[in-house]
Amino acid sequence: MNNLLKNFLLLFSTIFILLILSEFSLRFFLEPLNSGWGWEDSPRRKLATFDNDRPNQLNLRGQQIKYDEDDFVILILGDSQVESATSPPNEMPEILLENYLNDFSKKHVKVFSVAASAWGQDQQLIALEKYYSQFRADLVLIWFTPKNDFWENTFPDRNVGVKAGHLKPTFLLNQNKLEGPFLNPNEYYKNSALLHLIYKAIQSYNDSNLEELILAEWYEKIPIAHSIDETPENKINSTFQIDLDKYSKEIFALADSNNITIITYEDFINSRGHFAPYLENKSPRDLYQLEITKKLIEKIDSCSISNNSKMIVFYPLREDFDSVTPNSVRNVKSYRIKDKYFPVNLNYLETIKRTIPQKKLFTFSIEGQDEICVDHSDRHLNLLGNTKVAEELGNYLLLLLNNKEII
């Protein structure tokens, strides 16, 4: 029995040592999770072909973060609108706002960008904390994007479809408290390089990948979505139907319509995509999107306050998204589900106001149709559109800069 016990302990010790050695060895050769992105691997990076296009110290698009002691420093958090990939570096929103404020302000102002295409407030928060570890700011601005931010804050990947997309650092909302961040770029799956390799191999054998496994596990951690079998409250049998991409190109040509159904491959049943959480019959997961976004903004606010900054969320009201679309689009329909129409209410401002405290929110209207967009198929703002935003936002901020309290 003694020899058997000794042999067992020897075998157990050998296996344990081999596992430890394997774990540490793999960390030298195995890449951790491919999670998150900056300017160089931004989804819209290929649209920029400017010779002087360089990232800032945080590897995000924008001017170098340099300021003097007496400068009033403004930070813009956001996504593709702030990144502005199709604009030359000297025409980015940060530069337009900085120039406008310096023309009229009593203080010298510096404006910097902390943003990348497809970011939600989850990655904005993480980047803000990184920014504060090196720099200061007097004011933090969040350029809110209601078409994207809610669903982007909800998942561990970025994709509107059924399949998992690129992973990103993100948070969970558990009993009204934020947990995380999870899936940081320097992490391994299950916090183990060995398990990471094993699960990756299993997924590959099953003709899948690790992203799919992570997304499936995430679904179990958040509230339930719609059921494909459920019957929407308002089933409509006859209505004008149009593909989402085509509608985006023809928004103003369809402005007089009032009963449009948009057909899409987006997985809005699982709350993924631009129509969540705007379904009139909301699932628990749709409502979760609102709550986690609210908590993330609160966290950004508290992070700003603890670093002696103030925070404002702003949203430019546009004719295409905030006038024409809510009045013309009534339903959304999936290409994957036949004969079911899901009523939507695409009033973005109404939803924003339920999520962001009024004292922290600034909304304003900018005039223009296709002439303020990159082109009819890319509805990001161009130089004219961004200039209008800089002027409206700048006029509001001048009240603060010229010693009149606004927040």
> Residue 23 falls within a domain, yes or no?
no
330-369 confidence digits (pLDDT tens): 999 999 888 889 999 999 999 999 999 999 999 999 999 9
Establish if 199 belongs to a structural domain: yes
Query: Which residue did the predictor score with more confidence, 226 or 168?
Result: 168
Contact (CB, 8 A) for 341 and 236: yes
**Domain range enclosing 277:** 31-401
pLDDT at residue 10, rounded to an integer: 74
Q: What is the pLDDT of residue 231?
A: 66
CB within 8 A of 347, min separation 6: which ones? 278, 326
Q: Tell me whether residue 215 is in a domain.
A: yes
Strand 310-317 versus strand 329-334 pairing type: unpaired
User: CA 288, 210, 294 angle in degrees (round to 5)?
Assistant: 20
Average pLDDT on 133-150 reads 97
pLDDT in tens, 227-243: 877 766 555 555 799 99
The stretch 109-125 carries a mean pLDDT of 98
For all residues of the chain together, what is the average pLDDT? 93
Number of domains, the chain: 1
Let me know if residue 19 belongs to a domain: no
Residue-wise pLDDT tens digits, 82-94:
999 999 999 999 9
Amino acid at 2: N
CB 283 within 8 A of CB 224: yes
The letter for the amino acid at 396 is Y
């989402």: which residue's tokens? 244
Residues in the chain: 407
Q: Please tell me the number of Cα atoms within 13 Å of 144 on its side-chain side.
A: 26
Structure tokens at 279: 């379904």
Query: Cβ neighbours of residue 161 under 8 Å, at least 6 residues apart?
Result: 265, 266, 267, 272
Contact criterion met (CB below 8 Å) for 141 and 104:
no
Asked if the structure places residue 231 within a domain, the reply is: yes
Q: pTM (2 decimals)?
A: 0.94
The answer to whether position 2 is within a domain reads no
- Each residue of 189-202: pLDDT tens digit? 999 999 999 999 99
